[in-house]
Amino acid sequence: MTAVVTQTQEIDPRRAAEPLILALDVGSSSTRAMLVDPRGRALEGTRRQLAYRIETTAGGGAVLEPDRLLEAVCTTIDGALAAAGGRAVRAVGISTFWHSVLGVDRRGRAVTPVYTWADTRAAAAVARLRATLDPAAYHRRTGAVLHPSYPLAKLAWLREARPDVVAGVQRWLSFGEYLLLTVAGQATCSISMASGTGLFDQAGLRWDPEALGVAGIAPERLSPLGDAPVTGLRGRFAARWPALTRAAWFPALGDGACSNVGSRAIGRGRLAVTLGTTGAMRLLWAGDPVPPPPGL
C-alpha cells in the first residue's frame, strides 16, 4: 500500500470551535480520510490516502483482503485525526464501492475475502439465474440486472461452488457494514448500499424474498436495513480514537451516489460523469420510485 499525505497547517482560530465531520471514502484502488466543517469545507492538512490493488486470480477472481483493507482505513483515520489538533468529531460519513460482499462468522470475523464488483466467477451462475427468475420482473423490482457483478450472483455461485465456505458464514455484508461492525460492534445496511446488491426490493424497501430464495439465504443472514447512525466504539478503537468516542457513525453509502451529491448533480437537469476504476453517468432526483427502463 502507498501512503499519500499532506502537511498539517495552522487551524484558523475562527473555525476552531466548529464541530468536525470525518469523511471516509473507501474505493476500489485507494481509501481516503479527511475532516470537514459543517458546510463541507475541508480542514487544511487533514487529508490522508492509502493506495492498494484488487487481487486478481485465474478464472476471474477479483478480491480484497478484509482486514488489510480495514487497517488501511484505520490508518487514514489515524492521520486525519492527528492533524485535527485534538478537536472532537461530531459525525462520520462513509462512502464505499458498491456491489461487494463478504462473509463473517458468529463473532463478526471475516471468513471470506471481499468479493468485489470486478469478480466474474459467478458468470455461470448467472445463466442458471436467468432460467429461474423472470429477468424483466426482477429488474423492475430491484433495479439490478442479472450480472456477475451483483452479490445475488456471487451468493448463488458460492452456494454451488464453495458450500464449505457458505456453511461457515453467519452474515453477509458489504465492506462498509464490516467496518462499522468491527469498530462499533453493530451495523445496518443503508438503503443506498442495499440498492446495489440485486437483493433489494426498491419499491417495498425490503430484502427481496424471491432473490433471497434463489440465493439460498434467509433475511437474518443479511444486515437489518436502516440509515440511522450508531454511536460508541469497541474498546481498542475507543482507545485509538478518543476524538470519535461520541461521534455518530452513519451507514456507508454507495460511492456513485455520493459522487453526484459532492458534485451537486442532484436534480433532473444535471448528470454526473465519473471516470475512475470504472466509468458511469448518473442522474439523481427526488420522488416516488419508478420502474427502471430497460438498459439501466
Full pLDDT tens readout for the chain, 296 residues: 444 443 334 445 555 667 899 999 999 999 999 999 988 899 999 999 999 999 999 899 999 999 999 999 999 999 999 998 878 899 999 999 999 999 999 999 999 999 999 999 999 999 999 999 999 999 999 999 999 999 999 999 999 999 999 999 999 999 999 999 999 999 999 999 999 999 999 989 999 999 999 999 999 999 999 999 999 999 999 999 999 999 999 999 999 889 898 888 988 889 999 887 778 898 887 777 778 888 88
Please report how many Cα atoms fall inside a 13 Å half-sphere around the Cα of residue 192, on the Cβ side: 22
Contact 187, 252 (CB under 8 A): no
Contact 174, 100 (CB under 8 A): yes
Determine the distance from the C-alpha atom of residue 148 to the mean position of all C-alpha atoms in its chain, rounded to a whole number.
18
**3-state DSSP assignment of residue 205:** coil
pLDDT of residue 278: 77
Distance CA 222, CA 225 (A): 9
**CA-wise closest residue to 89 among 264, 185, 229, 262:** 229
First-to-last alpha carbon distance for the chain, in angstroms, is 35
Q: Which three cell numbers stand for residue 134?
A: 423472470
Residue 236 sits at the vertex; the CA angle it makes with 233 and 241, to the nearest 5 degrees, is: 65
Model pTM? 0.91
Q: Which three cell numbers stand for residue 73?
A: 482505513
Distance CA 53, CA 109 (A): 22
Provide the strand spans (E) within 150-190.
171-173
The CATH homologous superfamily to which domain 2-282 belongs is ATPase, nucleotide binding domain (3.30.420.40)
Residue 262: partners with Cβ closer than 8 Å, 6 or more residues away:
none
Q: Domain boundaries in the chain?
A: 2-282
pLDDT of residue 17: 66
